[in-house]
Amino acid sequence: MWHKIEISENNIEASTDKAVLIKMKHNSNYDGFVFWHPKKLVRAEGKMFTFSFNDEFKFNLKKYGQGKWNNRDVVREDNIGANVMLAEWAL
C-alpha cells in the first residue's frame, strides 16, 4: 500500500537532481534528523509538498552535529520503516 505525507516547504533542507533532503517534524521523536528521499516521490501540491512511500520502504535517518567541530559529522543514525514514519508525522 502506498502512503503520502504532507510537509511544508520548511521541511525541505536541500534538493538535487535525484533526491530531496527532508527534515523530520519538530515535535516528533526524531526532531533534528534528516533523510534523503527520491525526488520522483516528492511532489509540490499548492503551497505544501508531499512525499510518498510504500509499506516496504526503509528510511535512513541521520542527525548531524551542531557544534563548531562536528557540524558535518553524523552524530546519530537510525533506520525506520514505513509504519514508524507514519506514526512520527501523525504526532
Pairwise CA distance, residues 20 & 27, whole Å:
21
State how beta strands 74-81 and 58-64 pair.
antiparallel
Q: What is the pLDDT of residue 74?
A: 80
Residues of the chain with pLDDT under 50: none
Q: What is the pLDDT of residue 31?
A: 95
pTM of the model: 0.89
Q: 64-87 pLDDT, tens per residue? A: 887 666 667 888 999 999 999 999
Place of cell 541521520: 62
How many Å separate Cα 68 from the centre of its chain?
Answer: 24
50, 43 contact by CB (below 8 A): yes
Grid cell digits, residue 78: 537510525
Q: What is the pLDDT of residue 71?
A: 66
